[in-house]
Structure 1
């Protein structure tokens, strides 16, 4: 016979189910970290660690042989670069360490923040599941967006580390607003806010919007506003003093980022349709409390995202997690905080179906832990093959050598220590980035003569070329052939 007030077997099972599912998700991500699949910006972050491990105070541009600052030189990457320098570990091992740290911060941060919203023991697990599964029927892979598939591919990125810090920041801020927090607590929050912004600027925007919503929701008194202002001032000073790049110059650097962010405004229904369940949950929270922090957070995020789409500032789309996160959390919390038991049960069933649909949409993630060959055909069709990499050029190409390559190779080759002629990503601090990209286009154009190609190679000090077999000609000596019939050429002068 159970004790009065003790949870019965059904309640215990209902609580254990999301916790078990969350553990399975974490195990999957740990297995993914062991393999560390490569798509997207991983090479950029590996190159950043490479430069810092070779010259911590003056690393130069991470991608091209130029002495320019870079917003990728954040405090977190500085720690990772120092780790690589001191231990001699390869950058890919260091990136696995970064992934473990980021995942730990994210999970513990979600747990701490959700505990400020609900005391129910199942709430953190439900929140974690909603954050990674409550998305849509199509996959979106982008740093700062923590759908399960995207998280598997960006787990080592600074954005995951910064988002983990952000959840801890919100938890500390919420508690500071509810109690008479000391000046030291508020100044510490200012330091943490600056750290998030320096580690990943877009996540810093999300952190700021969430913090603003929490402050407005709390409607604090004069003393809190004064201490909050002190924390903001300290954070701003730290941003201004950061020596590796001028943080505030980024506000005028958005024009070069709009084109690559325009896809964030496409296929919204298929990518984010399941989040509408969270919007419904936010509506219910609004009826209960017109000053609900999650509702205000969602409205701020949706406003910034919509403004970006309407004005053509598509880089503002990176603020979309500020609308997604509160909606996903609200969907999870309704299971444990809605009124009558029948309502909570019904909501749990609806959320369970939505999470199952989201899990199926992202089921290709399993392949990053097992390999495609281990997947049944129905799941193999959802699998997106990671990039092969350019380790095959490393027996010849040395650290600091300049390689002529097109855009996608240029997103990977610097990870092994070499430079490329043009950066594979937009670089707001590289003044001749457009000229370098034009030189690469001219070099690989069909009508370019061998003499013109040699002139471009001399101008940028190129020692190697990665390209198709059709490039063979005077001044280029074939060294080896890699995947997809790519050829490594030595430049002969």
Structure 2
């Protein structure tokens, strides 16, 4: 049987009837291929679609569960780390918005903690009468959606794939560990459990929006008003958390160097105007001198820990470094590659020169790596490559989730969690609310380091700051005075002199610590607290 020539140029184009199509599909003699419009679907197509749908469901469900966990953490607001210091900042501004003084001690000094963000929170506290810790919860409730939308906003400037933003959220929060990396400005879930209400997290969240808006402004040659707004946003970022501000600036520089087409002269003028406005706002900020921060060098010792266990802490992010390498091969001006290079150079330079505080730029290296692996999965065209990447990254995310499971310990207490998780969770401190029944806001308490971390959060001063304060000129003298007061060989005359010098009206100590004896006529026992604490009123 001869096959009819349906591709003959002289033959009129006709579509076969449904019955003819069915006959041709059944006939073994027909060799002419079917038209594309009626080609039967591949048997693997429905399977592929179901697999992709299942993958999307898993990703979105994981993001939802992480969001719910963070909301529960906000409600709990675990007391650890620097929480008391940020509460103290709000309390000082609530008491005196114009001249708040030191957040921790009774001294008329400036403080870099008085930022545009904390001033806004203090206004909320004054307007509502809410406690500082309630206001910090409000701050976290603002920061969390700002962070999630910021990640989506910036990721959408890098990829149009719908799965890219939720994958980015998972990678940014979970590709950490196994050792904990609890530092302000770092997005690991275990760290966010403690710092979700801190100004640093607000700045990181705002930075993603800043990068996205700058990218769009450069692509569209935006108006003068848009670039001036970006300058103001940059000033708020730099004033609110300086370390995260460096990361934000590196990201902006990466976006600028990656811009295509290269900005025209007018765009450069607009960009320059925004920078000038930002610098001007930073220069006139009344609560502290931003540029004086460059003169302080007392931050290195505390940051030395950033460089310990670094290979283990960043091992999961190596997946993203490989993805960055492929992005660099495709585009030497990829913004993620440039940001990674800037962050890596600064962190490496800090390690080589002993400037350990430069390690705070580490998010500038980690964030682009984490985003790169998320984008690689979302944009993989080859199904085998996509599935392989998803499998490897999924395993890494699960391992990272186990590493960050300490966050669960702040939400579920007691026997609800495995022993291994409970042991890794840092204990939440017991707040000294009982002290506030007697001690009023603005009064000074002589106490040791442990209480010095918490009391300022209730508006109470301590003789020595619990947290290092580079703006406090007599910080060393204050710590030495506290040490002398509680030393057992210090004379009573010297102890009384220290109390009067710093106008300390109260003594809070853990018995049997040193200091004046409990029956000394200069002290009057007022109350007992947990764990053997005792509060004394200074009466002599």
Mapped pair 1:482 → 2:529: yes
Shift of 1:275: 1.0
Q: Which residue of 1 aligns with 2:484?
A: 442
2:250 to 188, 205, 209: 209
**Conserved 8 A contact 1:16-1:122:** no
Partner of 1:371: 413
Alpha-carbon deviation of 1:2?
9.6
* 2:439 alignment partner, one of 397, 403, 406: 397
Quote the offset at 1:468 in angstroms: 2.3
1:56 is displaced (CA, Å) by 1.2
**Alpha-carbon deviation of 1:125?**
0.7
Q: Alpha carbons of 1:126 and 1:2: their partners in 2 closer, same or farther (altered >3 Å)?
A: farther
Could you say which residue in structure 2 is the equivalent of 1:302?
344
Q: Tell me by how many angstroms 1:385 deviates.
A: 1.1
Q: In structure 1, what is the Cα distance between the partners aligned to 2:531 and 2:159?
A: 52
Q: In the TM superposition, what are the counterparts of 1:433-472 in structure 2 within 5 Å? A: 433-470=475-512, 471=514, 472=517
Matched, 1:250 2:293: yes
Question: Partners in 2 of 1:478 and 1:40 — Cα distance?
Answer: 30
Residue 51 of structure 1 deviates from its aligned partner by 0.9
Quote the offset at 1:389 in angstroms: 1.7
SS in 1 for 2:255: helix
1:55 aligns with 2:96: yes
- Worse-superposed segment, 212-221 or 235-244: 212-221
Q: Is the 8 A contact 1:136 1:269 kept in 2?
A: no
Tell me, in whole angstroms, the C-alpha distance in 2 between the residues paired with 1:2 and 1:114: 34
2:510·2:531 contact (CA, 8 Å) conserved in 1?
Answer: no
Aligned to 2:12: none
Q: 1:327 aligns with which of 355, 365, 369?
A: 369
For structure 1, which segment, 131-140 or 377-386, has the greater mean C-alpha deviation from structure 2 after superposition? 377-386
Aligned ranges for residues 49-448 of structure 1 at < 5 Å? 49-218=90-259, 219-253=262-296, 255-448=297-490
Q: Which residue of 2 aligns with 1:491?
A: 538
Residue 16 (structure 1) aligns with: 57
Note the alpha carbon deviations across 1:233-282, whole angstroms, 9 max, x for none.
Answer: 110001011111111111112x1111111111111122221111111111
Moved more, 36-45 or 375-384: 375-384
Q: C-alpha separation between the residues in 2 aligned to 1:214 and 1:343?
A: 28
Q: Quote the Cα distance in structure 1 between the aligned partners of 2:41 and 2:468.
A: 63
TM-score by length of 1: 0.96
Q: How far did residue 339 of structure 1 move?
A: 4.4
Give me the whole-angstrom Cα distance separating, in 2, the residues matched to 1:483 and 1:348: 50
| Residue aligned with 2:508, SS | strand
Instruction: Give me the whole-angstrom Cα distance separating, in 1, the residues matched to 2:41 and 2:229.
Output: 46
Secondary structure in structure 2 of the residue aligned to 1:256: coil
Partner Cα distance (2:447, 2:187) in 1? 31
Q: Note the aligned Cα RMSD (angstroms).
A: 1.7
The alignment covers a number of residue pairs equal to 491
Cα-to-partner distance string for 1:353-391 (whole Å, 9 max, x where unaligned):
000000001112112122244213232222221111211
Which of 44-53 and 173-182 deviates more? Answer: 173-182
The CA distance in 1 between the partners of 2:337 and 2:393, in whole Å, is: 19
Runs of 4+ in 1 over 6 A off after TM superposition: none
Larger Rg computed on CA atoms: 2
Deviation by residue 1:207-255 (Cα, 9 ceiling, x = unmatched) = 00111111111143333222211111110001011111111111112x1
- Measured after TM superposition, the shift of residue 336 of structure 1 is 1.1
Q: Secondary structure at the match of 1:229?
A: helix
- Give unpaired runs (5+ residues) of structure 1: none
The 10-residue stretch of structure 1 (82-91 or 7-16) with the greater mean CA deviation from structure 2: 7-16
Secondary structure class of the residue paired with 1:463: strand
8 Å Cα contact 1:439-1:456 kept in structure 2: yes
C-alpha separation in 2, matches of 1:242 and 1:390: 34
In the TM superposition, what whole-angstrom CA distance separates every residue of 1:38-86 from its partner, at most 9, and x where no partner exists? 1111101101111111111121111111111111111111111111111
CA 1:228–1:434 in structure 2 vs 1: closer, same or farther (change >3 Å)?
A: same
* Structure 1 position 36 matched with structure 2 position 63: no
SS of match in other structure, 2:101: coil
173-182 vs 232-241, greater mean Cα deviation: 173-182
Q: 1:372 to 1:197 in 2, by over 3 A?
A: farther
Q: Could you give the per-residue CA deviations for residues 132-170 of structure 1, whole angstroms, max 9, x where no partner exists?
A: 100111111111011001001011100111111101001
| In structure 2, C-alpha distance between the alignment counterparts of 1:2 and 1:97, rounded to whole Å | 53
Task: Specify whether residues 372 and 158 from structure 1 end up closer, same or farther in structure 2 by C-alpha distance, changes over 3 A only.
Answer: farther
- Cα offsets for 1:415-471 (capped at 9, x unmatched): 111101111112122111121111112112232222211110010000112222133
Q: What CA distance in whole angstroms lies between the structure 2 residues aligned with 1:176 and 1:408?
A: 49
